[in-house]
């Protein structure tokens, strides 16, 4: 049993390092531990340099402080950050839900069993949604509220803020996928994921600590080069031109992706990772939108061709900088609306959170690609042959599209219509489980973190996928996991590679629009 107060005690690892043997077993042929990849170990040399004092995992490579003065500087900044979170001028996005989540926890623990990370580790206390939140609540009450130090002593809720606390909390805030399954389960409507995200925000905005994959190689690169992939506008245009040529040949349709078309009905913004890793997705969008006669365009302006907004996961200011750029580009092009490609966090950033930032002239209508695709499929403009999709298909629900936005049915209506062997995972829809890579984890792989995220946070999803196809477990029948989100696809790709699931179980994955185009009756050959 780990107690809340243990977070500030003994500078070594808070728990015995998590290992494969602790985890809930997977079904065959993935049930033999000695046949699974061996977890990377943190070397003694690394332990000298970086903090590894939570659970034996070092996702963030936080350097150890040089001396006591540096420790104190960071602890003071953290304390100042706690106070700032409670003021409207400093917390202009999330203040109200945060205050509710701080004040009204009934400590009923209903949320705990909703968390796949906690469950898959064999119920390790530190991964409970409430463990992180209760530490945060006690720190807020002690250090950010008047009379807090006195009251917390009387109530025996006293946690000493020190380097051990903040360095452990920093790592712990990246052991949650922000899937908000716990928030949905809470009878009081409290949001433990928001608390986790606000912790990340203090670290980023006050201490300058953020995962390099999300900040330097994410937001900063996107602002500097135009995309978190590092692709400039010129390179993106060349890539898309190449795709147009290639797929014109494959499909027998002359495909021309429009660029910077003023007054178009739709500005489509992809996650630019698609162009590099899954080019068939933007190609399928181009084929379908053109066949349906939609007035649409891509933008070649920097940031306008990349819907990634990693600030959503760790920093309000970085979130706002990217969201404002996207809206300004749409306003300049005078498009009727922005349509968000198959990327969950892009949906959340633009359609939910940015509502608090994009006001006045920047309040451009936004639509999910899920509803646009549904409207096209059922418009009667395109002839489909569902038998082209006559293989087992299941659907992964990206948390940010489904639980967050409530866009549940459009993608299902398409799949029920176009995929004769479509079957649901259990549970699904708003009760879905995260792919395991939510909140940026999918792109984070420092030190031994890749082993943790695939084996722990991605474990429930892998089991769900295997169960959905239990009627065809072997590799002889190819099966398709439809994951309409770039981030989820990256995570599912990593899970399949890690376990050799394509070879052992015939598992493939891809987006939604590819299945739609695959069923277009007039294409020379099926698209997939």
Radius of gyration of the chain (CA): 23
CB of 526 to ligand SF4, least distance (A): 37
φ and ψ of 384, to 5 deg: -120, 150
- Shortest distance in whole angstroms from residue 2 CB to ligand SF4: 16
CA 181 to mean position of chain CA atoms: 13
**Closer to ligand SF4 by Cβ: residue 114 or 144:** 114
Q: Please give the Cα distance from 189 to 183 (Å, whole number).
A: 6
CA distance between the termini of the chain: 50
488, 466 contact by CB (below 8 A): no
> Residue 25 gets which letter from DSSP?
P
Collect all residues with Cβ–Cβ distance below 8 Å to 107 and sequence separation of at least 6.
130
Distance CA 488, CA 271 (A): 12
Could you give the CA distance from residue 498 to residue 352 in angstroms, rounded to a whole number? Answer: 33
Instruction: Calculate the CA 265 to chain-centre distance.
Output: 28
User: Is residue 128 left, alpha or beta, with left meaning phi > 0 and alpha meaning psi from -120 to 50?
Assistant: beta
Judge contact between 386 and 518, C-beta under 8 A: no
Asked whether 307 and 345 are in contact (CB, 8 A), the reply is no
CA dist., res. 160 & res. 166, Å (int): 10
The SS3 assignment for 515 reads helix
508: enclosing H helix or E strand: strand 507-510
- Which parts of this chain interact with ligand SF4 (CB under 6 A)? 105-111, 114-115, 117, 129-130, 176-182, 186, 188, 190, 192-193
Q: How far is the CB of 415 from ligand SF4 (least distance, A)?
A: 25
């Amino acid at each position: 049993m780990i107690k809340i107060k243990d977070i500030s005690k003994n500078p070594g690892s808070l728990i015995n390092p998590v290992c494969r043997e602790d985890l809930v077993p997977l079904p065959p042929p993935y049930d033999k531990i000695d046949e699974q990849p061996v977890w990377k170990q943190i070397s003694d040399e690394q332990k000298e340099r970086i903090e590894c004092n939570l659970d034996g995992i070092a996702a963030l490579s936080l350097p150890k402080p040089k001396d006591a003065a540096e420790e104190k500087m960071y602890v003071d900044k953290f304390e100042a950050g706690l106070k700032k979170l409670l003021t409207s001028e400093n917390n202009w996005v999330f203040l109200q839900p945060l205050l509710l989540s701080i004040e009204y926890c009934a400590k009923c623990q209903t949320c705990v069993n909703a968390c796949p990370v906690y469950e898959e580790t064999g119920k390790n206390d530190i991964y409970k949604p409430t463990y992180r939140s209760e530490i945060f609540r006690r720190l807020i009450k002690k250090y950010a509220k008047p009379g807090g130090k006195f009251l917390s002593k009387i109530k025996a809720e006293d946690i000493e803020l020190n380097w051990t606390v903040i360095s452990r909390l920093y790592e712990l805030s990246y052991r949650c996928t922000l899937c908000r399954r716990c928030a949905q389960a809470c009878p009081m409507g409290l949001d433990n994921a928001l608390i986790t995200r606000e912790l990340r925000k203090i670290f980023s905005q006050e201490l300058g600590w953020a995962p390099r994959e999300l900040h330097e190689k994410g937001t900063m690169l996107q602002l500097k080069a135009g995309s978190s992939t590092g692709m400039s506008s010129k390179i993106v245009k060349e890539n898309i031109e190449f795709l147009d040529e290639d797929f014109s040949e494959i499909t027998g349709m002359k495909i021309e992706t429009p660029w910077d078309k003023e007054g178009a009905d739709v500005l489509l913004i992809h996650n630019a990772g698609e162009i590099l890793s899954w080019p068939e997705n933007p190609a399928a969008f181009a084929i379908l939108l053109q066949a349906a006669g939609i007035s649409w365009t891509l933008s070649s302006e920097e940031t306008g061709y990349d819907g990634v907004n990693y600030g959503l996961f760790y920093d309000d200011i970085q979130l706002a900088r990217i969201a404002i750029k996207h809206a300004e580009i749409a306003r300049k092009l005078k498009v009727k609306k922005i349509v968000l490609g198959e990327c969950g966090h892009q949906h959340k950033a633009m359609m939910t959170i940015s509502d608090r930032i994009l006001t006045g002239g920047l309040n451009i209508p936004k639509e999910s690609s899920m509803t646009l695709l549904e409207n096209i499929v059922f418009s009667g403009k395109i002839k489909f042959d569902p038998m082209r999709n006559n293989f087992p298909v299941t659907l992964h629900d990206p948390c940010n599209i489904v639980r967050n936005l409530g866009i549940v049915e459009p993608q299902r209506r398409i799949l029920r219509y176009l995929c004769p062997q479509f079957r649901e995972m259990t549970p699904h829809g708003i009760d879905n489980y995260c792919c395991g890579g939510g909140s940026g984890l999918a792109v984070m792989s420092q030190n031994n973190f890749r082993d943790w995220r695939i084996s722990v946070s991605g474990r429930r999803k892998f089991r769900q996928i295997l169960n959905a196809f239990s009627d065809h477990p072997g590799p002889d029948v190819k099966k398709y996991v439809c994951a309409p989100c770039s981030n989820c696809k990256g995570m599912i790709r990593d899970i399949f590679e890690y376990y050799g699931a394509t070879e052992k179980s015939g598992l493939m994955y891809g987006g939604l629009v590819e299945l739609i185009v695959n069923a277009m009756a007039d294409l020379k050959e099926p698209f997939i």
